[in-house]
Chain A
Amino acid sequence: MQITPHLFQKRLKKPGPNGRYVMFRVGYALLGIGLFIFLWVAGGYLVFTRPGYEQFSGFLPVPTLEAFRGLLFEDQFWQSVWASIRRVIIGITIAFVLGLPLGLLIGFYEKLQLTTYTPVQFLRMISPLSWMPVALLVFHSFESAIYFLITMATVWPIILNTAHGVSQVNPHWVNMARNQGAKDYQLLMKIVVPASIPYILTSLRLALGVAWIVLVPAEFLGISSGLGYIINDARDTMEYDRLGAIIIAIGFIGFILDGSIEIIQRMFSWNVA
């Protein structure tokens, strides 16, 4: 029986020598980037050169990229980036500290899984942003309200994926460990947790994606730092080139954060003999 998360399975099928395969992948990646830029240029010129839309010409690639270069030398931008990343990290950390043990227990004890299934699925389907008014009532600072929103958005994928990982643990490993005299807590710590690490990392990656999405609208509220704040600010001052540049920056940072978890995932993926 094999336990290989589907994410890693594709990587195993390498056509031809490794070097050629890298070229093959890089080639298609570049093609994708090229297509993306082409669609941006084509779409931008089709929409923003029409009469009545000239004021939005800042969204075109050239002004946006110029504004992006400007952003890189701006203190306020870097402070906002840091503020946003810090919020995501704190929010996910809280969600992880709550969600990981819960997920492990839910996956390990079937009765707990049956009990928690309905409430978890129910809560998961509530848009995290609908907690916003509640968050503002409960928490006195905007900062804490944002942590709360990110935690509410990310705790579910962490719980569900961790529990799924636990349920996928190779039964032979469990039998072997029981045969070797493992007690329940040893099964959990020596078999279940290490075997679930790939799934836990997947859950973190999903959580990060959700957190990064929720963050920007969450920062629209009453706060004076963060990428959501400066994007809102750019809209109010009608600096559309700057707005476009911040959108690009949000995409970039999200891409880098996601990529760094992917690298960690690869370090913890193992082939099962």
Chain B
Amino acid sequence: MTIQMEKVCKRFPQPAGKELSVLEDVDLVIGEGEFVIILGESGCGKSTLLNLMAGLLPLSDGEIRVKGTRVARPHPSRAMLFQQPSLLPWLNVEENIVFGCKLRGEKENLAVRTAQLIEIMGLSGFEKVKPHELSLGMAQRVCLARAMIGHPQILLLDEPFASLDTITRSHLQEELIEFWMVEKFTAVFVTHDIDEAILMGTKVVLLGGRPRGILQAYEVNLNYPRDIASRGFFLLRSAIIKKLRESFDGRQEG
């Protein structure tokens, strides 16, 4: 499922009657089955862009189309994974995973699919556990299972691993890539971590500047699993850092 963004603008009203422009004229096409990383510093509007794609926020200007259809509201075919695991504390792991399917009345093969996902996500034995007994990493696995159970064509990830420790994070990064290679969904992954971006993405889109927009997009032509010590990785990393620095310096002078 391709996502097409044309002249996407987002402005937030400010108390003094002014408007804060967060995104201006963002043009981006995300192809089917791609794993696109939106990379940028905190506050550069990358989460906003993701929320716009999800349909959780209305656009100020421009258009976002998914497979030709305009995005107007949230839809389960575009599942979202948030930075903080948003599990419902009164439901156990299994009940949390099937929450969305139950809402939508998708009962077909639900038990089989749930069991599969619990197995894949390494949650076996935790089916009846309540969220507050889970570690952050486990909770995020449950969220991923919940997002994936409805076979979404697009998975939107808003810094999902940012609050995890390094070791858990690298496990989850690998698992997510493996999962993506099997399920072949389109992924849009927001992060501020350059290494994470190059490790996972087929394409890295650099967001920043003033007004906020796309600075540059990089194709990542490295095979999975990627080696952080490889030459290709290093070159791309240097290029991204250089670009970010340029944009930062430009802003200082301007």
Contacts and interface: CB of A to CB of B under 8 A. Distances in A.
A182 interface: yes
17 contacts: A1-B84, A172-B82, A172-B86, A175-B56, A175-B80, A175-B86, A177-B99, A180-B99, A180-B100, A181-B100, A182-B103, A186-B103, A195-B88, A270-B132, A271-B89, A273-B87, A273-B136
A178 B82 CA distance: 13
Nearest to B84: A172
Contacts of A272: 89, 131-132
B76 interface: yes
B79 interface: yes
Given A176-B82, A270-B132, A273-B131, A181 B88 contact: no
A173 interface: yes
Given A270-B130, A271-B132, A179 B54 contact: yes
Nearest to B51: A175
Nearest to B106: A181
Interface string A94-134: 00000000000000000000000000000000000000000
Contacts of B133: 273
A135 interface: no
Contacts of A273: 85, 87, 89, 131-134, 136, 139
A227 to B, nearest CB: 38
A270 B100 contact: no
A194 interface: yes
Interface residues of B, number: 29
Given A179-B74, A179-B79, A271-B132, A173 B103 contact: no
Interface string B135-160: 01001000000100010000000000
A270 B75 contact: no
A170 interface: yes
B80 A176 contact: yes
Given A181-B75, A181-B104, A191 B131 contact: no
Q: Which 9 pairs from chain A and chain B are nearest by CB?
A: A180-B100, A271-B132, A172-B86, A270-B89, A181-B76, A273-B131, A176-B86, A179-B80, A273-B132
Contacts of B74: 178-179, 181
Contacts of B99: 177, 180, 190
Given A176-B80, A195-B88, 11 more contacts: A175-B56, A179-B80, A180-B79, A181-B74, A181-B100, A181-B103, A190-B99, A270-B130, A270-B132, A271-B89, A272-B132
